Amino acid sequence: MEFDPDRPRGLLSRADREYLLGLTEMEHEQSKRNAEARIRRRVTEGIVDFYLLVRNLERKDRKQIFEKGMDDSAFRYGLVGMQTFAYMGMKETGMEFEHILGPAVTRAEEAYAAEGFDSTVDVDVTFDVGVTLGAGLDSVAERIRAGEAVGPDEFLSVMGGEGDVLEDVESVTLDLREGGIGMEHGEFVDRVAAFLDGEATWEDEDRVHIAVGDDVGST
C-alpha cells in the first residue's frame, strides 16, 4: 500500500508521516532526534489510550469504526500493522506475545458474552507459531535482478526491507503458488502493481510479470 500522508490526524501528525516516509529532510541531527523522540512519545501514549477505548468507548462507536473502516484498504492494512508492530516490539525485547494475546482475547470474549448474551464464558487461547528460515534477502534480490520468479512472501520480504533492489529492475515476476498471500491472487497482484507503479501481464493463472514504473510500455 502506498501511504497517503494527508490522511486525517491519527497517532501521527502529517509531519511525523512525512518524516517516516522520507519526504522531510532534517538539516540538523538534533532535529532528527527530536522528530524520532516525538514519534516514540505519541505512539507510546496512543497505545496507552487503547485501555481507555476498551473501557469507555461505546460499543456502537466501536462497531461503526470497524464497519466503515473495512471499506478502506488502508484501514485493513492498519489492522495488520497494529498486530505486527506489537509482535515485533515484544519479540525484540524478549517478551512473549502470548502473554498479551491471551488476556486480550479472554477479556474480549468475556465482554462479548456479557454484552451480547448476558452470560459468562470460559476461554482457552492457544497460540503457536512455526518459523522456518527461508532464502536470505540478498538471494531473493539477486533472483529478482536476474528476472527469475519469486514467491509472494519472498517479494514482500524484499519490499519491506532496506536497499534499492526494486529501483534496479525493469520487471518483477511472481509465482503465486509459492507462499501464502492471505487474499485473492488478482487483488494481491493489483496491489503490487500499484506499489511498483507498474502494469501486470499474466502468463497463466499462477504466474505474472509486472513491468516497473517508467518501464511500462517500453518493451
Residues of the chain with pLDDT below 50 are 162-163, 216-219
Task: Give the H/E segment covering residue 199.
Answer: strand 199-204
Q: Report pLDDT for 217.
A: 40
Q: What is the pLDDT of residue 134?
A: 60
Q: What is the per-residue pLDDT for 151?
A: 87
Position 183 scores a pLDDT of: 66
How far from chain centre, in Å, is Cα 183? Answer: 14
pTM above 0.75, yes or no: no
Task: Report pLDDT for 82.
Answer: 93
| CB proximity list for 76: less than 8 A, separation 6 or greater | 69, 70
